């Protein structure tokens, strides 16, 4: 897909932060569990631009009026990220490849490397599921283990599946299941942000996405609007709209 480089303004760097589940306000509602949704939009991924993951994340954060916090290294995939926590237990992930053999071996590392080498931009969207085994059975493949370790020694673990689908048809999300959701990346700040993801615009076919998910795309969120346009080239995630205190912003 064409990786859409955004016109953003430079801003001062925010200090790195780490997840702190014991901090006030951090134990927010676990939406996937409390609402009994079979799957829900979890996050969107943005490939770092030429000046790297931190600078890219800081520009996006400045546009949206949120804080960018350090995510960390994904050893299984040869990547690292910076997180922009959002409301409704969602987040924006800004990601870049490492100079490591795992990058070229793992499908996610390959996807990130390709996107960054093309200039960066929106890479895809990700759906959170509570029953990863059901997705494995439906797709007839095993999920991959992912993890990262915080500076204080805590470890976030998850499993993901469907990155090959993203690579071959970038309108399709991949699926993720968090093994310890109390450390979900959206909780990397003490107070839930007022900014939320409110719209995804995809070049693609809603019927194809429905076939992949097993349900319509708009059933993965009650607050996100999905817009599909006919591709003028490759399919994929074209833009993301955010509701902010200053109004709607589309990147």
Instruction: Residue 115: name the closest of 145, 93, 135 by CA.
Output: 93
Residue 37: band (very low, low, confident or very high) from pLDDT cuts 50, 70, 90: low
**Tokens matching residue 142:** 């095993």
Kindly report, residue by residue over 126-181, the tens digit of the pLDDT: 999 999 999 999 999 999 999 998 878 889 999 999 999 999 999 999 999 999 99
Alpha carbon 222 to its chain's center: 18
Q: Is the pLDDT of residue 23 over 60?
A: no
Kindly report, residue by residue over 58-92, the tens digit of the pLDDT: 999 999 999 999 999 999 999 999 999 999 999 99
User: What pLDDT, on a 0 to 100 scale, did the predictor assign at position 21?
Assistant: 35
**Tokens matching residue 140:** 């007839």
User: What pLDDT, on a 0 to 100 scale, did the predictor assign at position 35?
Assistant: 43
Kindly report, residue by residue over 180-226, the tens digit of the pLDDT: 999 999 999 988 899 999 999 999 999 999 999 999 999 999 999 99
Mean pLDDT taken over the chain: 87
In the chain, DSSP assigns E strands to 39-47, 69-74, 79-86, 90-97, 121-129, 144-149, 155-161, 174-178, 196-203, 225-229, 236-244, 247-250
User: What pLDDT, on a 0 to 100 scale, did the predictor assign at position 11?
Assistant: 32
**Residue 25: half-sphere exposure toward Cβ, Cα within 13 Å:** 8
Task: Report the predicted TM-score, pTM, of the whole model to 2 decimal places.
Answer: 0.85
Report the share of the chain in percent with pLDDT over 70: 85
User: What pLDDT, on a 0 to 100 scale, did the predictor assign at position 153?
Assistant: 85
């Amino acid at each position: 897909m064409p990786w859409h480089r955004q016109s953003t303004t430079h801003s001062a760097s925010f200090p790195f932060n780490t997840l702190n589940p014991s901090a006030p306000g951090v134990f927010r509602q676990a939406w996937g569990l409390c609402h009994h949704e079979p799957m829900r939009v979890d996050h969107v991924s943005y490939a770092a631009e030429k000046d790297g993951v931190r600078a890219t994340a800081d520009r996006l954060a400045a546009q949206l009026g949120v804080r960018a916090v350090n995510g960390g290294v994904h050893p299984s995939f040869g990547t690292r990220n910076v997180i922009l926590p959002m409301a409704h237990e969602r987040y924006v992930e800004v990601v870049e490849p490492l100079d490591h053999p795992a990058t070229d071996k793992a499908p996610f590392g390959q996807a990130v490397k390709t996107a960054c080498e093309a200039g960066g931009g929106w890479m895809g969207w990700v759906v959170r599921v509570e029953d990863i085994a059901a997705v494995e059975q439906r797709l007839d493949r095993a999920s991959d283990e992912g993890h990262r370790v915080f500076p204080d020694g805590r470890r976030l673990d998850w499993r993901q599946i469907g990155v090959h689908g993203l690579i071959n048809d970038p309108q399709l999300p991949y699926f993720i299941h968090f093994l310890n959701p109390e450390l979900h990346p959206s909780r990397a700040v003490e107070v839930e942000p007022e900014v939320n993801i409110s719209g995804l615009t995809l070049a693609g076919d809603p019927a194809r996405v429905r076939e992949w998910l097993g349900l319509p795309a708009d059933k993965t969120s009650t607050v996100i609007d999905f817009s599909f346009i006919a591709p003028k080239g490759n399919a994929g995630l074209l833009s993301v709209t955010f509701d902010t205190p200053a109004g709607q912003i589309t990147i």
